[in-house]
């Protein structure tokens, strides 16, 4: 069995591989390219990201769909580290509070804040903040449920 450090390292590597295009998941690569993991713990992650031009909406802001993809992947990584198994998203709710401009640096912090009975459910909260002033850009809540996948069966998440 892997120890806690191995799971964290494996998950950080997965996020880095997504953001570097190693995993050949083009949509994730396009939306995560440049993501940096600043801090990784068993139940929380802190990342930074400079919003690239290619993720712009018609107003020059970070496209909300691209932001949701990044939030989903960072949230999945966090719950994987905390629970030690793959989870499927049951409920995903994002509140967009302020736009982020292209070339703006943001911080993404995700935390496991709750778990259901017998470890089958987990709740992750993800905050996206403007790094310069700490202003909240988006707040997401994501419920995950355990799925029994291992090794080669790993598909959309980890």
Residue 1 has what pLDDT?
Answer: 33
- The CATH number corresponding to 4-153 among 3.20.20.210, 3.40.630.10, 3.10.129.10, 3.30.420.10 equals 3.10.129.10
Residue 157 has what pLDDT?
Answer: 52
Assessment of whether the complete model's pTM goes beyond 0.95: no
Residue 118 has what pLDDT?
Answer: 63
**If we measure between CA atoms, which residue out of 141, 138, 139 comes closest to residue 121?**
141
Rounded Cα–Cα distance for residues 49 and 90 (Å)? 26
Rounded Cα–Cα distance for residues 135 and 106 (Å)? 10
CB 95, CB 140: distance < 8 Å: yes
Question: What's the average pLDDT block by block, 10 residues per block, for the chain (158 residues)?
Answer: 69 85 73 92 94 94 95 90 75 95 97 76 94 97 74 47
Domain boundaries, the chain: 4-153
Strand residue runs (E) in 26-153: 36-41, 44-50, 87-96, 105-115, 121-130, 136-146
Strand residue runs (E) in 2-120: 36-41, 44-50, 87-96, 105-115
Rounded Cα–Cα distance for residues 107 and 123 (Å)? 20
């Amino acid at each position: 069995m892997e120890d806690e450090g191995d799971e964290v390292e494996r998950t950080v590597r997965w996020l880095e591989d997504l953001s570097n295009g190693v995993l050949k998941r083009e949509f994730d690569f396009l939306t995560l390219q440049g993501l940096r993991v600043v801090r990784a713990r068993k139940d929380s992650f802190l990342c930074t990201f400079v919003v690239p031009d290619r993720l712009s909406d018609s107003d020059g802001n970070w496209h909300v769909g691209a932001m949701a993809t990044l939030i989903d992947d960072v949230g999945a990584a966090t719950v994987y580290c905390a629970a030690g198994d793959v989870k499927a998203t049951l409920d995903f709710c994002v509140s967009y509070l302020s736009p982020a401009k292209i070339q703006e640096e943001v911080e993404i912090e995700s935390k496991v804040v709750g778990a259901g009975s017998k470890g089958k459910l987990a709740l992750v909260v993800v905050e996206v903040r403007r790094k310069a002033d700490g202003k909240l850009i988006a707040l997401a809540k994501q419920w995950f449920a355990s799925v029994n996948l291992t090794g080669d069966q790993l598909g959309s998440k980890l």
